[in-house]
């Protein structure tokens, strides 16, 4: 019995390792693939539309509402200390440093990541990838790489839009509705948000999240079991692993970027 | 140059498989299998389900690599080729998948145009002409604007066939082309495969277990069971083959060398619960 457990443990460890190996190879192949630039550009733009543009609605609406909630919550707390003029920087900093990259990434994993996994998994299950191979077209170049790169490019852009709409939502609630001074709102935001420290670091975060989510999504689709049960499992795993990876990485990145600010 | 090389029997084979061993995990799929597939002929590979007939097509196409043995296709030993070379060789092969495997996001026209757009620099006008010619050959020129989801199973296979011949390959591999077809589309497919083989000078390899269709269409039949070829020859020769397994398969008998029962412990003991005692 003990022997059997050990055997099982070893098998699991090996299979996890093998899976990381396959994922790593797929990542390398996707990154270093630049065949026929013109055709690749067309495929990439198509995927940026599918992955990025079609995620705009959920990202925009979520950004707006999160900004509005921040405005409301921030105001009720700050006004107690007579510090409602600090509402602007509070909203901007929360969004730029944390909420923007993280929430946008979580939504992106749910909206675009799951779609990528399901699409590639379905293509695999219906032998579309196999038939592509037999037509001497490498599916990693034709299918995987454009989706990976489109995800990497779209994520920071979506995070920027999320941030902008969030700040707008905070402004609407704080200034237009609750009556915070408009000049103070913007000028204190301008004074307290540092370009490199806040905006650039936030974008780096979302870029890294974009890489990780896209990588998990294409790998899970490409490596999925070619059955309907396999595809649904892979799709679930994409969302779960991506979300956990985003939250875990966010802590590490925050510690590296902002850890020395006391 | 693509067929009827008169230099002798040996050079007339498009595909020569020698001493092929293939295992998947611990399961032996092929042990020491050898076969020759002549140019310009229709070769049917038959056998009970689960004997890895489709696997053989994947081995020929280089999607799987055998543990040992050679698979020579038109002079190239497939298992030893680099990825680039393999992709070159695959342009000479067409493969028809059981489901058709059409790209679900592309229309019928674009599906057939796909290999042309990928591998040639032809102008749109020429591509259009070629695509319409190929669709005409399978009788679906009028369906060019449909999406794959709007096609019946038989139509999807015909579109896939048009796509497979788009680059004018030397050979086509058919994976269970007759499975799950109504009698009419079955007849259409049999006729199409026959015609294409004659008019385009193709070499056809068909994996099937529909005995009647196979006999009607084949120049040569291989029957595979237990990882080896158990019978080979013309349809008549195979029908007369005295081997019990071959007879069971060709006549569709429920029990014989291929047992009705999956291996199980003794029935009586199993029922009495003595096995776990």
Q: Is the pLDDT of residue B178 over 90?
A: no
What are the chain A neighbours of B103 within 8 Å (beta carbons)? 123, 128, 132
**Domain boundaries in chain A?**
57-257
Q: Is the pLDDT of residue B6 over 70?
A: no
A176 part of contact set with chain B, CB < 8 Å: no
Contact A131 B95 (CB under 8 A): yes
Over residues B79-105, the pLDDT tens digits come to 888 888 888 888 888 899 888 889 989
A131 part of contact set with chain B, CB < 8 Å: yes
pLDDT, averaged across chain B: 85
**Alpha-carbon distance A230 to A243, whole Å?**
20
Of the given ranges (A9-23, B49-63, B128-142), which has the lowest mean pLDDT? B49-63
Residue B201 pLDDT grade (very low, low, confident, very high; cuts 50, 70, 90): confident
Mean pLDDT of B222-251: 83
Partner residue facing A128 (CB), from B98, B103, B119: B103
Q: Give the Cβ contact number of residue A59 at 10 Å.
A: 24
Contact A134 B98 (CB under 8 A): no
Partner residue facing B97 (CB), from A130, A136, A142: A130
So what's the pLDDT on residue A36?
61
Residue ranges of chain A with per-residue pLDDT less than 50: none
Contact B104 A128 (CB under 8 A): yes
Q: Is the pLDDT of residue B19 over 60?
A: yes
Over residues A64-107, the pLDDT tens digits come to 999 999 999 999 999 899 888 899 999 999 999 999 999 999 99
Nearest CA in chain B to A124: B101
Q: Residue written as tokens 């109504």? A: B182
Nearest CA in chain B to A129: B101
- Burial classification of residue A31, based on how many CB atoms lie within 10 Å of its CB (0-12 exposed, 13-18 middle, 19 or more buried): middle
CA distance B111 to chain A (A): 11
Polymer length of chain A: 262
So what's the pLDDT on residue A258?
83
CA distance A135 to chain B (A): 6
Over residues B98-130, the pLDDT tens digits come to 888 899 899 999 999 999 998 888 999 999 999
So what's the pLDDT on residue A60?
95
Residue B5 pLDDT grade (very low, low, confident, very high; cuts 50, 70, 90): very low
ipTM score assigned to the predicted complex: 0.80
Tell which wins on pLDDT, B256 or B65: B65
A135 part of contact set with chain B, CB < 8 Å: yes
So what's the pLDDT on residue A237?
95
Contact A127 B99 (CB under 8 A): yes
Tell which wins on pLDDT, B33 or A249: A249
Residue pair B189/B196 in contact by the 8 Å Cβ criterion: no
Angle at B32 between CA B28 and CA B34, to 5 degrees: 130
């Amino acid at each position: 019995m003990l022997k059997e457990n050990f055997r099982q443990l070893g098998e699991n460890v090996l299979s996890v390792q093998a899976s990381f190996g396959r994922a790593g190879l797929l990542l390398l192949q996707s990154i270093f693939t630049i065949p026929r630039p013109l055709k690749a550009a067309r495929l990439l733009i198509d995927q940026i539309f599918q992955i990025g543009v079609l995620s705009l609605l959920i990202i925009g609406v979520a950004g707006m509402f999160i900004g509005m909630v921040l405005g409301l919550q921030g105001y009720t707390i700050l006004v107690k200390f007579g510090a409602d003029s600090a509402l602007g920087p509070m909203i901007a900093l929360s969004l730029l440093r944390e909420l923007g990259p993280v929430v946008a990434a979580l939504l992106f994993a749910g909206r675009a990541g799951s779609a990528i996994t399901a699409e590639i998994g379905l293509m695999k299950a219906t032998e579309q990838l196999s038939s592509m191979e037999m037509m001497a077209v490498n599916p990693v170049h034709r299918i995987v790489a454009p989706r990976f790169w489109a995800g990497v490019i779209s994520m920071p852009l979506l995070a920027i839009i999320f941030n902008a709409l969030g700040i707008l939502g905070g402004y609407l609630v704080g200034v237009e509705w609750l009556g915070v001074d408009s000049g103070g709102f913007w000028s204190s935001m301008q004074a307290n948000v540092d370009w490199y420290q806040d905006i650039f670091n936030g974008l780096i975060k979302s870029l890294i999240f974009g890489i990780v989510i896209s990588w998990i999504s294409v790998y899970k689709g490409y490596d999925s079991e070619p059955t309907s049960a396999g595809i649904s499992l892979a799709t679930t795993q994409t969302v779960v692993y991506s979300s956990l990876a985003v939250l875990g990485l966010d802590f590490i990145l925050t510690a590296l970027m902002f850890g020395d600010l006391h | 140059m693509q067929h009827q090389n008169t230099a002798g029997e040996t050079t007339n084979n498009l595909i020569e498989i020698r001493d092929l061993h293939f295992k998947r995990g611990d399961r032996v799929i092929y042990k020491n299998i050898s076969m020759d597939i002549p140019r310009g002929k229709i070769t049917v590979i038959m056998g009970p389900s689960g004997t890895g007939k489709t696997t053989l097509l994947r081995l020929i196409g280089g999607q799987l690599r055998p543990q040992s043995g050679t698979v020579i296709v038109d002079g190239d030993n497939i298992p030893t080729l680099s990825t680039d070379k393999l992709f070159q060789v695959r342009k000479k092969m067409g493969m028809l998948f059981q489901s058709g495997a059409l790209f679900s996001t592309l229309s019928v026209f674009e599906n057939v145009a796909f290999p042309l757009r990928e591998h040639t620099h032809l102008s749109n006008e020429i591509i259009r002409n070629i695509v319409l010619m190929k669709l005409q050959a399978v009788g679906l020129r009028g369906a060019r604007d449909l999406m794959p989801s709007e096609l019946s199973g038989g139509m999807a296979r015909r579109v896939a066939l048009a796509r497979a011949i788009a680059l004018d390959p030397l050979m086509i591999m058919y994976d269970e082309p007759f499975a799950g077809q109504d009698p009419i589309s079955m007849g259409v497919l049999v006729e199409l495969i026959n015609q294409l083989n004659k008019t385009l000078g193709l070499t056809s390899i068909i994996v099937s277990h529909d005995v009647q269709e196979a006999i009607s269409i084949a120049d040569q039949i291989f029957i595979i069971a237990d990882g080896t070829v158990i019978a080979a020859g013309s349809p008549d020769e195979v029908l007369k083959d005295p081997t019990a397994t071959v007879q069971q398969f060709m006549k569709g008998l429920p029990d014989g060398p291929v047992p009705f029962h999956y291996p199980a412990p003794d029935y009586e003991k199993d029922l009495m619960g003595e096995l776990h005692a």
